[in-house]
Amino acid sequence: MTVQPGRRERKKAATRRKIADTALRLFLERGYDAVGIRDVAAEADVAVTTVFSHFASKEALVFEQDENFEQRLTQAVTGRAPDEPLVPALRREIHALVRHCTTDEAAPVWRMVDESPALREYEQSVRLRHAESLAAAIADDLGLPRPTTACRAIARFAADAYSLAREADDPEAAVDEVFRMIEAAWEAAGPPRRA
């Protein structure tokens, strides 16, 4: 029985991790722009094409864990207590995510992102993808067949909250401030169509 992933998949995962770790280390040591894909490949002892078979682009090397992020967002909606309203649950999770980004461990990475136009642009596209997933989760939670404009709007607003908070002097306060606005927007969007 192959309950655990076989050696093949373990090796693949190991290669992937080695590439990602090496890349992040080099980026932080020498700067994102100063490190080429060829440098990463050489240091990780793999071929350039192998890097691109694991990651779609150079920027993707930095946002390796973004699926984690996405799942936390959607689970904040789908996995919340039955009696907890939607928006506060979302607020709590975004709070946690923002706090996580300001960790000493994660801060240098985000500083690097802020300093590189290419990475900033890529992060936006990642955020938009997350907003789409979130919109789908919200629609599902409401029993809608597919995301309405209101669902998508709230999801984008939440993504904006995250983005603005990261740039604010007091990130946590910014989350609260924007979420007061989102709460009002959500109520104005009309009744969640239940009962």
Partner DNA sequence: ACCGTAACACTAACAGTTAGTTTTCGAAAA
Partner DNA sequence: TTTTCGAAAACTAACTGTTAGTGTTACGGT
Smallest distance, DNA to C-beta of residue 27, A: 10
| 138 versus 161: smaller Cβ distance to a copy of itself | 161
- Name every residue whose Cβ is closer than 8 Å to that of residue 193 and which is 6 or more positions away in sequence: 142, 143, 144
CA distance 166 to 163: 5
Among 53, 142, 189, 192, binds a copy of itself (CB under 8 A): 189
Tokens of 162: 């995250």
| 48 versus 173: smaller Cβ distance to DNA | 48
Among 188, 191, 194, 195, binds a copy of itself (CB under 8 A): 188
Query: What mask of x and - would describe binding to DNA in positions 44 to 83, judged by CB under 7 A?
Result: -xxxxxx-xxx-xxxx------------------------
Q: Which does 27 bind (CB under 5 to 8 A by kind): DNA, a copy of itself, none?
A: none
CA distance 61 to 186: 35
37 touches 48 (CB < 8 A): yes
| 39 versus 141: smaller Cβ distance to DNA | 39
User: CA angle at residue 64 from 61 to 67, to 5 degrees?
Assistant: 150
Burial 22-39 (b: 16+ CB within 10 A, else e): bbbebbeeeebeebeeee
Residues at the site binding DNA, with contacts judged by CB under 7 A: 2, 6-9, 11-12, 15-16, 35-38, 45-50, 52-54, 56-59
Residues at the site binding a copy of itself, with contacts judged by CB under 8 A: 120-122, 124-125, 128, 149-150, 152-154, 156-157, 160-161, 163-164, 168, 174, 177-178, 180-189
